[in-house]
Structure 1
């Protein structure tokens, strides 16, 4: 069985949540004995094999396509010249909404969310219209659609009418073998301000875009902490035009720092040592940073919308992201009732089993494998 993995939507070595999700899936799949299975990974040529970090135990061939960047050029290439690079495949999978729709094989992709249909914070009218039309086309022409949470499953059924027999959940998860990251030599924000790594802090990691409610998070923290010098809010992730605006706004506060895009080691170190993760999005298909924090025993402050209550359960504080007073109270509650939320983390983590996610993914692609229990006897 030959499985193609379409990763040409990744334009730079700074992948976000969907890329991280698929990296973890491959790592877990590599722990199984796959029977007569090989992979062909299609990527833009500037993306190194080292960055993809595909486990060496998997039988993988890499095919480079030109440097396409991000946007219309990649989309046009995918539906035209990409066919010249495609080899005979049994299945072609994409970790996001990116697929040569006329490929002559079983086509599977992961649709993480549909919040461009339900919120207006991130996309303008024309972009929402385009994404809606394209997503409906992908759902119609692909054989199987995967998604990452019960919330997203219900939203896809409601707005895109994907039949139940073609839509499956493969939950996001974290590796149970959480890494022990190395302490960075130093950390600085984008304006050159040094971070006191021994001072308590709350931590946000993710893209800086309007749907993530960065300004609301900062305003709520500042309202709670005011000018306190004993607590910080540290923000890390990919920037954008909105991110540049937020970076300038953040520079007005002595206890809020934006560090830009960080290495995985530095992100893990910040997760391990924070007072709690923060994710106050208006909409999330899943929201993996709270789970990553749970892996290090850290509770979360999240919005009470979309998939986040499903993800966080009783291991975090959930508030209305539109109300600054509630956000401020959420920081206060998390700080004062820290141990109460920490004790609920194991129960919440157990709901997102790496084994179940990996096996549901392989079943959807019809991969023949020996069950995990057999591999560990």
Structure 2
């Protein structure tokens, strides 16, 4: 079987990139027979592609940032590539499929955010994603999604039959584990200017991540706690991120809230180990990887009680209403000050993260490839 996978987002830290990297690495460990043709961005990091005979790299200069060129490339040139390399099954982990190809298609849909909350997308981007996602979902022979919650949304919002959707949970990378070498943790703290204990948030700065309310919740902590703990925001600037910096300025928290921008995985797992707490206040997630990564690193997690998050974290996180700033602040306070609760959350986190492995993700995905391949000619 000849499989093509679009991995142009594989060099990024966003959820799509984490998914592509983890999937490809694990497929290489369990599958030495099928041929994989992996599409990559020319000039971007590609060291996540396995160096073995059945994995082949295909480069393109068309990136995700130029929507017009990207759409034309996917709808006109990608079908040519599928024919040129005699591909049997195409896997699009980026919401969009080549609509005019007759090849067998698998689509990964992480969420249906563009249909749900209009304030979270630029209007033009929202319309584009809605149209292309709807058409791609109908085109797909099979849809993979990361949670039962997302599956229900795909059924209700996109009108896709339940039997066409397969839920496959995402794994946690091996480097996310407890690091006991204090010198490594001290070095990463010094690198990012951290001289206090800190509360960590990981995610792009956009309205869906609910960071403005997180800052308000942090500001409501008792003064002695906010003096003891910094709030560290890890992630790139996104749509309407200026509102977040305006909030920090308004509340006079410039010395207490630190923005790092994107952080490489080599640093991120160390920052998670050095943190006292991970807060995940998102209003909507199709899955949500950072809470599991934090649990694997042995730090307690407090998180939203919305969308797929309770499904992912189970009983291993302290949940709160993300629209209720007071409730969020109380959850943070408890997780910082109640030692018994902290220990319990860490213990439960270690157990919870055992349910999520990239090997299992790869095995279940390979089973979908085989199912679709075996249907050729039907």
Q: TM-score range by the shorter chain?
A: 0.7 to 0.9
The CA distance in 2 between the partners of 1:185 and 1:310, in whole Å, is 32
8 Å contact from structure 1 (residues 170, 358) kept in 2: no
Quote how far apart the aligned CAs of 1:352 are: 2.6
8 Å contact from structure 1 (residues 19, 95) kept in 2: no
1:209 aligns with 2:206: yes
The CA distance in 1 between the partners of 2:175 and 2:155, in whole Å, is 34
> What does residue 263 of structure 1 align with?
264
Q: 1:350 to 1:263 in 2, by over 3 A?
A: closer
The CA distance in 1 between the partners of 2:107 and 2:366, in whole Å, is 13
The CA distance in 1 between the partners of 2:189 and 2:53, in whole Å, is 36
Quote how far apart the aligned CAs of 1:241 are: 4.9
8 Å contact from structure 2 (residues 287, 309) kept in 1: yes
TM superposition score normalised by structure 2: 0.87
SS of the residue 2:221 aligns to: helix
The structure where helix makes up a greater share of residues is 2
SS of the residue 1:140 aligns to: helix
> What does residue 362 of structure 2 align with?
358
Q: 1:239 to 1:216 in 2, by over 3 A?
A: same
8 Å contact from structure 2 (residues 26, 362) kept in 1: yes
> What does residue 174 of structure 1 align with?
172
8 Å contact from structure 1 (residues 46, 67) kept in 2: no
Quote how far apart the aligned CAs of 1:134 are: 1.9
Residue deviations 1:221-252 (CA, integer Å, cap 9, x gap): 11114463211111111113523442454363
Summarize the alignment of residues 222-237 of structure 1 with structure 2, pairs less than 5 Å apart: 222-226=219-223, 228-237=226-235
8 Å contact from structure 1 (residues 317, 330) kept in 2: yes
RMSD of aligned alpha carbons: 2.4
8 Å contact from structure 1 (residues 148, 169) kept in 2: yes
Summarize the alignment of residues 292-331 of structure 1 with structure 2, pairs less than 5 Å apart: 292-331=293-332
The CA distance in 2 between the partners of 1:49 and 1:123, in whole Å, is 29
Residue-pair matches, total: 357
8 Å contact from structure 1 (residues 225, 231) kept in 2: no
TM superposition score normalised by structure 1: 0.87
Aligned with 1:81 (options 77, 82, 103): 77
Single out whichever of 114-123 and 212-221 deviates more from structure 2: 114-123
1:339 aligns with 2:339: no
The CA distance in 2 between the partners of 1:241 and 1:354, in whole Å, is 30
Summarize the alignment of residues 1-377 of structure 1 with structure 2, pairs less than 5 Å apart: 1-8=1-8, 10=9, 13-34=11-32, 36-50=33-47, 53-57=48-52, 59-70=54-65, 71-86=67-82, 87-175=85-173, 178=176, 182-183=184-185, 184=187, 187=190, 194-196=193-195, 199-226=196-223, 228-250=226-248, 252-253=252-253, 254-335=255-336, 336=338, 337-366=341-370
Q: 1:344 to 1:69 in 2, by over 3 A?
A: closer
Q: 1:41 to 1:232 in 2, by over 3 A?
A: same
Residue deviations 1:5-39 (CA, integer Å, cap 9, x gap): 1134x3x94341111022112222222243x3111
Residue deviations 1:276-318 (CA, integer Å, cap 9, x gap): 2111111000100000001111221111100111111221111
Q: 1:176 to 1:241 in 2, by over 3 A?
A: closer
The CA distance in 1 between the partners of 2:280 and 2:305, in whole Å, is 10
Q: Where does the alignment leave 5 or more consecutive residues of structure 1 unmatched?
A: 369-377
> What does residue 376 of structure 2 align with?
none
The CA distance in 2 between the partners of 1:358 and 1:330, in whole Å, is 35
Q: 1:13 to 1:94 in 2, by over 3 A?
A: same
